[in-house]
Structure 1
Amino acid sequence: MAPTGGSNPNADDLLVLLAVARLGRFTAAADVLGVNHTTVSRRIAVLERAVGGRVLVQTPGGWELSDLGRRVLPVAEEIERAMQSLAVAAGGAEEVRGTVRVASPDGFSIHVVVPAAAALHREHPGIDCELIAATQRLRHHRSGVDIEIVVGEPPVHKAIAVRLGQYALALYATEEYLARAGVPESVADLARHTLVYYIESALQVDDLDMATRGLPAPAGSLASTSVFAHVETTLASGGIGLLPDYMAAMHPRLRRVVPGFEHPLSYWAVLREEALRSRPVHLMLNQIRRQGARTVSPDAQPPAR
């Protein structure tokens, strides 16, 4: 049983704690709850007076549960389950409701997360999905989102990492480009070609940065922060693109060159334990894993329902 102070905790205040525990930020919790961040702060303060101590501690990466908060949280989760059961009893049918926030690299977002979110919403219209498309390194605080998807196996602290699928970066070009510039027979030949890839100074993901370390300095470059720009530039015969194999496979006009070269990578989902216990988040993660198994790693087995 959670300790109490001078009064009984308010159920609404406990649900506010649950939202902050899952998202790590007052502002993100406020958005989900439909209030402002000062209301979240005030409700947490009222809850702390009721239970007789701090339920959250502020870290450089966001708000984390204190020891007391971890003892209080199961009560909040039980209230959430009770309210969901009450809604089922009143409506006669189970309806899962909630908002799931996902941050993901742009290519994975469009080809995996978007269809996963659409499938989830068809099955559970009460679940809303918010998608933040960004190719960046793991934010160790994981604040403001329920599921953060990154490239490369992440070091995690007080979180869960789930492998979503593997892919490879390989070299592709159109026949038009190759007819004009010649077909490279080896990695060394790439020194005479234009390379299409990320802007080096803007690249924040070490695993993506390492992909070019085995390549010679190209004769020219066409760079962008978007993988979709890489694909379109390569399709426009602008150069040889260093592209995700699963995206290049969607375009018959792209021919793989220097087939001995590839840079293997993987996608991972990072979640707070508190977020994973949320049914909407759990359902969304399963949909992402299922869609990822079909799109990124066709030979992988999707999770069981």
Structure 2
Amino acid sequence: MQGCITSAMFDWSDLRYFLAVARHGSTLAASRALGVNQSTVHRRIAELERRIGGPLMLRYPAGYRLTEFGEALLPAVEAIETSVMALERRIVAYRSDLAGTIRLAVPEPLVSRIVGSTLLDMFHARYPALRIEFVMSDRYLDLSKGEADIALRSGEPADETLIGRKIADSIWAVYGSRSYVQQHGAPQRIEDVGRHAIVGFDGMLINHRAAKWLAAIAPGANIAARNNSVLGVLHAVKSGIGIA
């Protein structure tokens, strides 16, 4: 007589918790990423390990690390996640019959990076009937008034009526052209910034956090130029007129 399995070896949804801990390195970070309690992550991981009959990760002072068994299973679990996400996209596309134009509000400097990447090709492969139209502006466009459909924004969200998620870190630093540095030197400390010519923000960017930071650390600095766009400030810095 041959035996048969009458119940699933494990709950498929528990794989999400395994992936989250593997990627974030702790159950606390995983719980935040998944939007659940930390105890839920512990419980689901323990149940998954019980079902499959082996430990998937071990706890260390610095966080969690996968066991050899967990490392061996990780690629297969990631493949399952990719397949499930593809299935979900197919279902959504089938139900909504997506077609038309999406107006994407994006700061000017990001457009060349997006166009130069594979993101648009990947998007159009999934949704061939959708077209992306860039609305280039450093201003926060009003989505509720239809100025755009989706927006890429830098900084903390301020509008509670919008739904968003973090997709990257936006790193700011003090920059100067090579010609400027050769002539005037480079600031070595924050206190040195005020002794240099500054390319400042103007117009709608006057309340930008970078503009506020410059005003706070160099209140009496010589403003050599102002511009109301990040791209304009970039071009001014490249010209060698000052730092920003």
TM-score, structure 2 as length reference: 0.51
| Cα gap change, 1:204 to 1:120, in 2 (>3 Å) | farther
Aligned 8 A contact 1:191 1:218 in 2:
yes
> Which residues of 2 match residues 7-156 of structure 1 at below 5 A?
81=94, 84=97, 97-112=99-114, 115=117, 116-121=119-124, 124-137=127-140, 139=142, 141=144, 143-156=146-159
| Cα gap change, 1:211 to 1:191, in 2 (>3 Å) | closer
Q: State the distance in 2 between where 1:83 and 1:229 align.
A: 40
The residue identity in structure 2 corresponding to 1:178 is V
| Cα gap change, 1:108 to 1:167, in 2 (>3 Å) | same
Larger relative CO (CA 8 A, sep 6+): 1 or 2? 1
Q: State the distance in 2 between where 1:171 and 1:130 align.
A: 32
Residue equivalent to 2:239: 236
Q: State the distance in 2 between where 1:156 and 1:202 align.
A: 17
Per-residue CA deviations over 1:193-229 (Å, capped at 9, x if unaligned) read 1112421x43265434323233213223222122222
Q: State the distance in 1 between where 2:179 and 2:172 align.
A: 21
Displacement of 1:161 in angstroms is 1.6
Aligned 8 A contact 1:136 1:205 in 2:
no
RMSD: 3.0
More displaced 10-residue stretch of structure 1: 150-159 or 160-169: 150-159
Q: State the distance in 2 between where 1:127 and 1:140 align.
A: 19
SS of 1:108's equivalent? helix
Residue equivalent to 1:6: none
| Cα gap change, 1:122 to 1:197, in 2 (>3 Å) | farther
The residue identity in structure 2 corresponding to 1:193 is H
> Which residues of 2 match residues 201-212 of structure 1 at below 5 A?
201-203=203-205, 205-212=207-214
Give the structure with the higher percent strand: 1
Q: State the distance in 1 between where 2:161 and 2:216 align.
A: 35
Counterpart check, 1:218 vs 2:217: no
| Cα gap change, 1:124 to 1:154, in 2 (>3 Å) | same
Residue equivalent to 2:165: 162
Unaligned runs of 5+ in 2: 1-92
TM-score, structure 1 as length reference: 0.42
Displacement of 1:119 in angstroms is 4.1
Displacement of 1:124 in angstroms is 4.0
The residue identity in structure 2 corresponding to 1:155 is A
Aligned 8 A contact 2:201 2:227 in 1:
yes
Aligned 8 A contact 1:102 1:129 in 2:
yes
Unaligned runs of 5+ in 1: 1-79, 85-95, 242-305
Displacement of 1:180 in angstroms is 1.3
Identity fraction in percent: 20
Displacement of 1:171 in angstroms is 0.8
The residue identity in structure 1 corresponding to 2:215 is R
The residue identity in structure 1 corresponding to 2:137 is A
